[in-house]
Amino acid sequence: SLVASVSEDLSGRKVIAAILLHDDIEDQLSVVSLGTGNCFVAGDNLCDEGNVIHDSHAEIIAKRGFQRYLLKEIYGLTDRRIFKQTLFGTLKVMSHLSFHLYISTAPCGDGAVFTHADPHHTDGDHEPVFRKQQHGLLRTKVEKGEGTIPTDDTPQTLDGIRRGQRLRTMSCSDKICRWNVLGIQGALLSLFLVEPIYLSSITLGMLFNDGHMSRAMCCRVDGNGRPLTGLPPGYRAQHPKLGCVTRVTDTRSVDRSSPLSVNWNMADNSVEVTDATRGMTTRNTASR
Protein backbone atom coordinates (compact mmCIF):
# COMPACT_ATOMS: atom_id res chain seq x y z
CA SER A 1 0.00 0.00 0.00
CA LEU A 2 2.97 2.33 0.61
CA VAL A 3 4.23 1.93 -2.94
CA ALA A 4 0.70 2.11 -4.34
CA SER A 5 0.30 5.53 -2.71
CA VAL A 6 2.99 6.90 -5.03
CA SER A 7 1.98 7.53 -8.64
CA GLU A 8 3.13 4.96 -11.22
CA ASP A 9 5.43 7.36 -13.05
CA LEU A 10 7.30 8.17 -9.83
CA SER A 11 7.71 4.80 -8.20
CA GLY A 12 10.64 3.22 -10.09
CA ARG A 13 9.15 -0.05 -8.99
CA LYS A 14 10.91 -2.50 -11.32
CA VAL A 15 12.57 -3.91 -8.20
CA ILE A 16 11.15 -3.72 -4.67
CA ALA A 17 13.00 -4.79 -1.53
CA ALA A 18 12.07 -4.75 2.15
CA ILE A 19 13.58 -5.65 5.50
CA LEU A 20 11.12 -7.20 7.92
CA LEU A 21 11.15 -7.78 11.67
CA HIS A 22 9.79 -11.06 13.03
CA ASP A 23 8.69 -11.34 16.66
CA ASP A 24 8.78 -14.98 17.75
CA ILE A 25 6.69 -14.35 20.87
CA GLU A 26 3.82 -12.60 19.09
CA ASP A 27 4.43 -14.47 15.82
CA GLN A 28 4.17 -11.13 14.06
CA LEU A 29 5.99 -9.92 10.93
CA SER A 30 6.42 -6.17 10.40
CA VAL A 31 7.97 -4.22 7.53
CA VAL A 32 10.57 -1.85 8.99
CA SER A 33 12.14 -0.57 5.76
CA LEU A 34 11.22 -0.60 2.07
CA GLY A 35 12.90 0.62 -1.09
CA THR A 36 12.35 0.55 -4.84
CA GLY A 37 14.77 1.27 -7.65
CA ASN A 38 17.22 -0.22 -10.12
CA CYS A 39 19.64 2.63 -10.96
CA PHE A 40 22.61 4.43 -9.44
CA VAL A 41 24.12 7.89 -9.62
CA ALA A 42 25.65 9.19 -12.85
CA GLY A 43 29.40 9.74 -12.71
CA ASP A 44 29.16 13.49 -13.20
CA ASN A 45 26.89 13.74 -10.14
CA LEU A 46 29.30 12.03 -7.74
CA CYS A 47 29.94 13.91 -4.51
CA ASP A 48 32.32 13.25 -1.62
CA GLU A 49 30.40 15.38 0.88
CA GLY A 50 27.94 12.64 1.85
CA ASN A 51 24.76 14.28 0.57
CA VAL A 52 24.32 12.17 -2.60
CA ILE A 53 23.00 8.59 -2.67
CA HIS A 54 25.43 6.65 -4.83
CA ASP A 55 23.44 3.41 -5.18
CA SER A 56 19.64 3.41 -5.45
CA HIS A 57 19.05 -0.28 -6.14
CA ALA A 58 16.11 -1.42 -4.04
CA GLU A 59 18.11 -3.69 -1.72
CA ILE A 60 20.56 -0.92 -0.89
CA ILE A 61 17.81 1.63 -0.29
CA ALA A 62 15.99 -0.81 2.02
CA LYS A 63 19.16 -1.38 4.02
CA ARG A 64 19.81 2.36 4.22
CA GLY A 65 16.33 2.93 5.66
CA PHE A 66 16.87 0.02 8.05
CA GLN A 67 19.95 1.73 9.46
CA ARG A 68 17.94 4.92 10.05
CA TYR A 69 15.39 2.76 11.87
CA LEU A 70 18.14 1.24 14.04
CA LEU A 71 19.60 4.64 14.86
CA LYS A 72 16.24 5.97 16.04
CA GLU A 73 15.72 2.77 18.05
CA ILE A 74 19.07 3.32 19.76
CA TYR A 75 18.12 6.88 20.68
CA GLY A 76 14.69 5.76 21.88
CA LEU A 77 12.77 7.72 19.26
CA THR A 78 10.37 4.93 18.32
CA ASP A 79 7.46 3.32 20.14
CA ARG A 80 8.96 -0.16 19.99
CA ARG A 81 12.10 -1.40 21.71
CA ILE A 82 14.20 -4.03 19.96
CA PHE A 83 17.44 -3.70 21.97
CA LYS A 84 18.51 -4.71 25.45
CA GLN A 85 21.56 -3.34 27.20
CA THR A 86 24.46 -5.63 28.09
CA LEU A 87 26.67 -5.49 31.19
CA PHE A 88 29.27 -3.64 29.13
CA GLY A 89 26.85 -0.85 28.17
CA THR A 90 26.54 -1.95 24.56
CA LEU A 91 23.28 -3.02 22.95
CA LYS A 92 22.03 -6.36 21.67
CA VAL A 93 18.92 -7.26 19.68
CA MET A 94 16.44 -9.14 21.85
CA SER A 95 16.67 -12.88 21.27
CA HIS A 96 13.05 -13.30 20.17
CA LEU A 97 13.49 -10.85 17.27
CA SER A 98 14.97 -11.57 13.85
CA PHE A 99 15.36 -9.70 10.56
CA HIS A 100 14.51 -10.89 7.06
CA LEU A 101 15.13 -9.54 3.56
CA TYR A 102 12.63 -9.70 0.69
CA ILE A 103 13.61 -8.82 -2.89
CA SER A 104 11.18 -8.99 -5.79
CA THR A 105 13.80 -10.58 -8.07
CA ALA A 106 17.31 -12.03 -7.95
CA PRO A 107 19.88 -9.42 -6.86
CA CYS A 108 22.13 -8.20 -9.65
CA GLY A 109 25.55 -9.78 -9.90
CA ASP A 110 26.52 -13.34 -9.00
CA GLY A 111 23.02 -14.23 -7.77
CA ALA A 112 21.56 -13.58 -11.23
CA VAL A 113 24.22 -15.28 -13.37
CA PHE A 114 22.20 -18.30 -14.49
CA THR A 115 19.63 -19.34 -17.08
CA HIS A 116 16.18 -20.85 -16.69
CA ALA A 117 17.62 -24.10 -18.00
CA ASP A 118 19.94 -24.45 -14.99
CA PRO A 119 18.76 -27.23 -12.65
CA HIS A 120 17.74 -26.27 -9.14
CA HIS A 121 15.90 -27.58 -6.11
CA THR A 122 13.69 -25.64 -3.73
CA ASP A 123 14.31 -27.17 -0.31
CA GLY A 124 16.46 -24.24 0.80
CA ASP A 125 19.62 -26.26 1.43
CA HIS A 126 22.89 -24.44 0.86
CA GLU A 127 24.38 -26.44 -2.01
CA PRO A 128 26.31 -23.79 -3.97
CA VAL A 129 26.91 -24.25 -7.69
CA PHE A 130 30.43 -23.62 -9.05
CA ARG A 131 30.13 -25.11 -12.53
CA LYS A 132 31.57 -22.26 -14.57
CA GLN A 133 34.57 -20.00 -14.29
CA GLN A 134 32.41 -16.90 -13.82
CA HIS A 135 30.52 -18.38 -10.87
CA GLY A 136 31.42 -16.66 -7.62
CA LEU A 137 33.22 -13.72 -9.21
CA LEU A 138 32.91 -10.20 -7.88
CA ARG A 139 30.89 -8.08 -10.31
CA THR A 140 30.08 -4.40 -10.78
CA LYS A 141 27.07 -2.50 -12.06
CA VAL A 142 27.75 -0.40 -15.14
CA GLU A 143 26.74 3.24 -15.45
CA LYS A 144 23.77 3.91 -17.75
CA GLY A 145 23.17 0.20 -18.23
CA GLU A 146 21.54 -2.79 -16.58
CA GLY A 147 23.26 -5.99 -15.58
CA THR A 148 26.80 -6.44 -14.27
CA ILE A 149 30.32 -7.27 -15.47
CA PRO A 150 33.19 -9.02 -13.64
CA THR A 151 35.59 -6.71 -11.84
CA ASP A 152 39.03 -6.12 -13.34
CA ASP A 153 42.34 -4.61 -12.23
CA THR A 154 41.73 -1.29 -13.95
CA PRO A 155 41.72 1.41 -11.25
CA GLN A 156 38.67 3.64 -11.04
CA THR A 157 39.60 7.26 -10.41
CA LEU A 158 37.46 10.33 -9.86
CA ASP A 159 39.26 12.31 -12.55
CA GLY A 160 38.85 9.40 -14.97
CA ILE A 161 35.12 9.37 -14.31
CA ARG A 162 35.00 13.13 -14.82
CA ARG A 163 36.57 12.60 -18.25
CA GLY A 164 33.94 10.08 -19.28
CA GLN A 165 35.08 6.74 -17.84
CA ARG A 166 32.05 4.66 -16.86
CA LEU A 167 31.37 4.59 -13.14
CA ARG A 168 31.37 1.08 -11.68
CA THR A 169 29.50 0.21 -8.50
CA MET A 170 29.61 -3.00 -6.47
CA SER A 171 26.80 -5.40 -7.42
CA CYS A 172 23.94 -6.07 -5.01
CA SER A 173 24.92 -9.75 -4.71
CA ASP A 174 28.40 -8.74 -3.56
CA LYS A 175 27.01 -6.20 -1.10
CA ILE A 176 24.57 -8.70 0.42
CA CYS A 177 27.38 -11.26 0.65
CA ARG A 178 29.38 -8.67 2.58
CA TRP A 179 26.39 -8.05 4.88
CA ASN A 180 26.37 -11.78 5.65
CA VAL A 181 29.82 -11.38 7.18
CA LEU A 182 29.83 -7.85 8.58
CA GLY A 183 26.12 -7.52 9.41
CA ILE A 184 23.48 -5.11 8.13
CA GLN A 185 23.97 -2.44 10.80
CA GLY A 186 26.90 -0.67 9.12
CA ALA A 187 30.22 0.46 10.58
CA LEU A 188 28.91 3.44 12.57
CA LEU A 189 26.15 1.57 14.39
CA SER A 190 28.58 -1.27 15.18
CA LEU A 191 30.06 1.05 17.81
CA PHE A 192 26.82 0.74 19.82
CA LEU A 193 26.31 -3.02 19.41
CA VAL A 194 27.92 -5.99 21.11
CA GLU A 195 27.58 -8.09 17.95
CA PRO A 196 26.55 -7.66 14.30
CA ILE A 197 22.93 -7.90 13.18
CA TYR A 198 22.55 -10.65 10.59
CA LEU A 199 19.73 -11.50 8.22
CA SER A 200 17.93 -14.71 9.19
CA SER A 201 16.42 -15.26 5.75
CA ILE A 202 16.37 -13.92 2.19
CA THR A 203 13.25 -14.42 0.06
CA LEU A 204 12.91 -13.66 -3.65
CA GLY A 205 9.76 -12.90 -5.60
CA MET A 206 11.07 -14.50 -8.80
CA LEU A 207 14.22 -15.70 -10.60
CA PHE A 208 15.20 -17.92 -7.68
CA ASN A 209 17.80 -20.67 -8.09
CA ASP A 210 18.98 -21.96 -4.73
CA GLY A 211 22.32 -23.29 -5.99
CA HIS A 212 23.28 -19.92 -7.43
CA MET A 213 21.70 -17.89 -4.61
CA SER A 214 23.50 -19.80 -1.86
CA ARG A 215 26.80 -19.32 -3.68
CA ALA A 216 26.24 -15.62 -4.26
CA MET A 217 24.78 -14.71 -0.87
CA CYS A 218 27.20 -16.48 1.45
CA CYS A 219 28.78 -19.81 0.50
CA ARG A 220 31.50 -18.36 -1.74
CA VAL A 221 33.17 -16.64 1.23
CA ASP A 222 33.94 -19.94 2.93
CA GLY A 223 33.98 -22.30 -0.04
CA ASN A 224 34.87 -25.96 0.29
CA GLY A 225 33.84 -25.91 3.94
CA ARG A 226 36.74 -23.71 5.02
CA PRO A 227 35.47 -21.29 7.70
CA LEU A 228 36.58 -17.68 7.65
CA THR A 229 39.36 -16.90 10.10
CA GLY A 230 40.70 -13.70 11.59
CA LEU A 231 37.29 -12.11 12.15
CA PRO A 232 36.59 -10.00 15.26
CA PRO A 233 34.62 -11.69 18.07
CA GLY A 234 30.95 -12.12 17.19
CA TYR A 235 31.53 -11.99 13.43
CA ARG A 236 31.05 -15.00 11.17
CA ALA A 237 29.91 -16.08 7.75
CA GLN A 238 26.12 -16.05 8.14
CA HIS A 239 24.18 -18.55 6.01
CA PRO A 240 20.58 -17.26 6.04
CA LYS A 241 17.61 -19.34 4.99
CA LEU A 242 16.89 -18.88 1.29
CA GLY A 243 13.58 -19.23 -0.51
CA CYS A 244 11.06 -17.81 -2.95
CA VAL A 245 7.41 -16.87 -2.71
CA THR A 246 4.89 -19.61 -3.44
CA ARG A 247 3.08 -17.62 -6.11
CA VAL A 248 5.50 -16.54 -8.82
CA THR A 249 4.80 -14.29 -11.80
CA ASP A 250 7.83 -14.95 -13.98
CA THR A 251 7.02 -12.62 -16.87
CA ARG A 252 10.21 -11.17 -18.33
CA SER A 253 10.24 -7.37 -18.37
CA VAL A 254 12.09 -5.63 -21.19
CA ASP A 255 11.29 -2.06 -20.13
CA ARG A 256 14.11 0.13 -18.93
CA SER A 257 14.01 1.00 -15.25
CA SER A 258 12.69 4.33 -14.07
CA PRO A 259 15.47 6.56 -12.69
CA LEU A 260 13.29 7.28 -9.67
CA SER A 261 13.42 5.48 -6.34
CA VAL A 262 11.06 5.32 -3.35
CA ASN A 263 12.14 4.80 0.26
CA TRP A 264 10.22 4.35 3.51
CA ASN A 265 11.11 3.18 6.99
CA MET A 266 9.08 2.63 10.14
CA ALA A 267 10.90 5.31 12.16
CA ASP A 268 10.38 8.17 9.70
CA ASN A 269 7.00 6.76 8.59
CA SER A 270 6.85 8.82 5.40
CA VAL A 271 7.55 8.13 1.74
CA GLU A 272 10.45 9.90 0.02
CA VAL A 273 11.07 9.89 -3.74
CA THR A 274 14.59 10.37 -5.11
CA ASP A 275 16.16 10.62 -8.55
CA ALA A 276 18.73 7.82 -8.63
CA THR A 277 20.82 9.36 -11.41
CA ARG A 278 21.33 12.52 -9.34
CA GLY A 279 21.28 10.87 -5.90
CA MET A 280 18.96 13.61 -4.62
CA THR A 281 15.26 13.93 -3.90
CA THR A 282 12.93 15.03 -6.67
CA ARG A 283 12.93 18.43 -4.93
CA ASN A 284 16.70 18.60 -5.46
CA THR A 285 17.52 18.29 -1.77
CA ALA A 286 19.67 15.74 0.05
CA SER A 287 17.90 12.53 1.00
CA ARG A 288 17.31 11.80 4.66
Q: Annotated active-site positions, please?
A: 59
Cβ(209)–Cβ(242) below 8 Å? no
**Sign (positive/negative) of CA torsion 43, 140, 49, 267?**
positive
Interior/surface letters 1-36, b for 16+ CB within 10 angstroms, e for the rest: ebbeebeeeebbbbbbbbbbbbeeeeeeeeebbbbb
The one-letter amino acid at 76 = G
Task: Give the three-class secondary structure for 17.
Answer: strand
Interior/surface letters 70-101, b for 16+ CB within 10 angstroms, e for the rest: bbebbeeebeeebbeeeeeeebbbeeebbbbb
Alpha carbons 122 and 209: distance in angstroms, whole number: 8
DSSP 223: G
Q: What angle do the packed helices 210-217 and 172-182 form, to 10 degrees?
A: 60
Cβ(227)–Cβ(213) below 8 Å? no
- Closest C-alpha to 198, from 66, 84, 110: 66
